[in-house]
Amino acid sequence: MRMKGLIVVSVILVSIIAQKIHARQTTAAPTGLLCELLRDPSAAVITERMPVFGWIVNDSLRGAMQTAFQIIVSSSKELVDRNKGDMWNSDKVQSDRSINVKYHGKPLQPNASYWWKVRTWDASDVTSPFSKVQHFRTGNFDDNDRAWPAESKWVRLENGEWVLENRQKASYQDIEPKRIVRLEQGHYFVDFGKSAFATLRFNVTTDKEGDSVVVYLGERCNDDNTVHKNSGVSNIGFKRVVVNLQRGNHTYTIQLPRKISHYPNSQVLAEHMPEVLPFRYAEIIAAPSAITQENIRQIALFYYFDDDASDFTSSSEKLNQVWDLCKYTLKATPFLSLYADGNRERMPYEADAYIQQLGHYCVDREFSVARYTLKFLIFNPSWPTEWQMHTVFIAYADYMHTGNTEVIEQFYKDLRAKTLIALEREDGLISTRTGLLTKEFYDSIHYRGKSFRDIVDWPPGTPVGQKQATNHGPTPEGERDGYVFMPINTVVNAFHYRDLVLMAEMADAIGKTDDAEFLRTRAEKVKESFNRLLFDRQRGIYVDGIGTDHASLHANMFPLAFGLVPQEDVAGVVKFIKSRGMACSVYGAQYLLEALYRVGEAQYALDLMTSESKRSWLNMIRVGSSMTTEAWDEYYKPNLTWNHAWGSAPANIIPRKVMGIEPMEPAFRKIRIKPQPANLQYARLKMPTIRGAVKTLWKTERDRVTFDITIPANSTAQVWLPVNSMDGLQESGVNINKVKEIKIVGQKGNYVICEIPSGSYRFSWPK
């Protein structure tokens, strides 16, 4: 009888354990599948014969790590559903790799469709279910008819659908109006809430043949609920269109004229795509029937975007507004399926692209548009000296966020040339004015223009006594803080130093150890010469170049941002920087904020981001823009656009610096979290990474601070907790020293540094 009881109990226990294991399995299928870094490869074609796969390990337990995976690739949906990998069945592969897993099956055929899925094993050898199936298409593997290496072309599928090679496409979305105002009979004003690159569709009824309506589309409006029609010299979106009507009830879509720019690398929409312009408002005059919520739409062209991938809110309503402005900018501006400047030029620029790339990574789990823009800019560079060097920044950011080295391997020589090392003097410093701009040099960086020169910042000012140009600032200082250009330029050489440092890391990543050592040695030489020749020891600040005693904000913020300033000189440089305020453009603001957070000046940086002055993001909102603007205000650049992503620095600064989330190892294999919330009482962030979302919550209460962190599976983190001592430091109510998963690795300044595996944690300490 006793034996029967034991058997019954054993059966129940086994059943309970089995149920728990099953319950765990049903929630742990991999998600976030990527093929060649594409989230939706079915809406593209891939020209890579051996694509790479990636996924998010779906496990919320602390310390969750993948120990093995199995990939199945099939030539039909039916086969993959039956777990028949006729193209590739990897079987169980003992590996924690969940990113950049290269295809190793039968040769893929060009212009074909395939389906794949994956499952994983955890540290306890528990198997997950298979992921959802992802469909991918191949394109032409052998097409060498390209304007430049890696050019992406449009491809028309058999079903008539147009897709792009190796990148996602933008698509048109219907946006409902937020507000409609009837001004008088037949006269309507429509507000869609935000500007978008779009056209307009509406439905009206008329009994007359030959009727027409006048439509005004614009990014800004007047106080009387009409579209602002005096565009002046600005490039703020505006268009007047006459629409001829037919008798009866019809729907009309405005056919805008094709946007063609004279700029050398300007991009155009494909012929099969209706043209768009940026507008938020529509004014319709002489409408023969009512304009209602149901019969008018903004037809907006958006690049593939997941609104739920990121989120931020804080105790500062001003900062929240700035975040929303910048996040929406990064959703609305890649409508050309690559990063370009505003609507005026539609041309990719390296500095613009880098800031847009950093922000895009922080608001969406998207990698293909940045990578394609990088390839484009390697072979189609713009004119400024520092912009060439931004190409290395873009490549390094791509590597750190994806862990993929293919671009570095394929274009290493080209990227190395973009450091402008060919322009170095004996002391390591570079110049564009010492006779080294030869044809061979231009060829090495693929430059085909006629105006290669230093830029520092943009726009320049207007010299005393001269008439202001439409693309210049009204004062002599411009956005450059009166920078004096010399043959040996401080800003240019700060970029050169940083390029050498990053290029050395990328050389190591692909096994070029000798060149990595050479580049590091050159970087140290540049640093020594830089500080010996460009630092005014008496004043404790950097001058603009050799031969001038003028010192600008730019000559000091770039060296500070790039780690050139010796520790003993930091205080003097910071004091000078703070004395200059926001004496730079929306582009320069990226590096000013980076410099400030690098040395712990978080409160001053936060004050700049939430300023209501004319040089602020809140001013962009105040003047009426729903995207970041090309300059702080029309006052500073009369011909500005209201849709320029190089002004979106807070979109990356808030996650990377305020909340402190950055990759320590490529593809976020190890994450650094070093918060600098300044006086924020509350801040909550969800930030996407290639391995899954990182979540943080900062909360300051009456007598205690809490900091919640969630690290995705298959990652670890180094957490910098801003506390002065270990006293009272807890995790989930337990003394931090007693939590087995947490390893204290040291203290630095007012931070306690610990390392944690994946999972969720609640740190707290006395205020």
Which 3-state string (H, E, C) describes 36-95? CCECCHHHEEECCCCCEEEEECCCCCCCCCCCEEEEEEECCHHHHHCCCCCCEECCCEEC
pLDDT of 380 > 50? The answer is yes
Phi-psi region of 62 (alpha: psi -120 to 50; beta: other; left: phi over 0): beta
Task: For 728-739, write each residue's pLDDT tens digit.
Answer: 999 999 999 999
The β-bridge partners of 672 are 662, 718
* Predicted local distance difference test score (pLDDT) of residue 6: 41
Mean pLDDT computed over every residue of the chain: 95
Q: Average pLDDT for residues 610-626, to the nearest whole number?
A: 98
740 close to 714: Cβ distance less than 8 angstroms: no
pLDDT of 276 > 90? The answer is yes
207 close to 249: Cβ distance less than 8 angstroms: no
pLDDT of 8 > 50? The answer is no
Q: Domains along the chain?
A: 27-165 (2.60.40.10), 170-303 (2.60.120.260), 310-658 (1.50.10.10), 670-766 (2.60.420.10)
279 close to 198: Cβ distance less than 8 angstroms: yes
391 close to 374: Cβ distance less than 8 angstroms: yes
Confidence of residue 26 (pLDDT cuts 50, 70, 90): very low
Task: For 655-676, write each residue's pLDDT tens digit.
Answer: 999 999 999 999 999 999 999 9
150 close to 375: Cβ distance less than 8 angstroms: yes
Q: Residue 550, SS3?
A: coil
493 close to 562: Cβ distance less than 8 angstroms: no
pLDDT of 240 > 60? The answer is yes
Which of 53-57, 263-267, 469-473, 718-722 shows the lowest mean pLDDT across its residues? 263-267
pLDDT of 2 > 80? The answer is no
Q: What is the pTM of this model?
A: 0.95
Task: For 182-212, write each residue's pLDDT tens digit.
Answer: 999 999 999 999 999 999 999 999 999 889 9
Task: For 68-102, write each residue's pLDDT tens digit.
Answer: 999 999 999 999 999 999 999 999 999 999 999 99
DSSP string, 194-247: EEEEEEEEEEEEESSTT-EEEEEEES-B-TTSSB----TT----EEEEEEE--S
C-alpha to C-alpha distance for 113 and 136, rounded to whole angstroms? 6
pLDDT of 372 > 50? The answer is yes
Give which of 115, 100, 128, 683 is closest to 409, Cα–Cα: 100
643 close to 302: Cβ distance less than 8 angstroms: no
Angle between helices 350-363 and 385-402 (to 10 degrees): 20
User: Percentage of the chain with pLDDT > 90?
Assistant: 93
Give every CB contact of residue 714 below 8 A, 6+ residues apart in sequence: 57, 64, 65, 66, 96, 98, 669, 691, 758
pLDDT of 141 > 60? The answer is yes
Give which of 403, 303, 385 is closest to 645, Cα–Cα: 303
675 close to 612: Cβ distance less than 8 angstroms: no
pLDDT of 350 > 70? The answer is yes
Give every CB contact of residue 639 below 8 A, 6+ residues apart in sequence: 233, 234, 235, 344, 470, 471
Q: If you search the block for the tokens 């998207």, which residue do you land on?
A: 366
Q: Average pLDDT for residues 255-276, to the nearest whole number?
A: 93
Task: For 635-647, write each residue's pLDDT tens digit.
Answer: 999 999 999 999 9
Confidence of residue 25 (pLDDT cuts 50, 70, 90): very low
Q: Residue 491, SS3?
A: helix
pLDDT of 678 > 90? The answer is yes
Confidence of residue 27 (pLDDT cuts 50, 70, 90): low
C-alpha to C-alpha distance for 199 and 197, rounded to whole angstroms? 7
Task: For 422-439, write each residue's pLDDT tens digit.
Answer: 999 999 999 999 999 999
pLDDT of 7 > 80? The answer is no
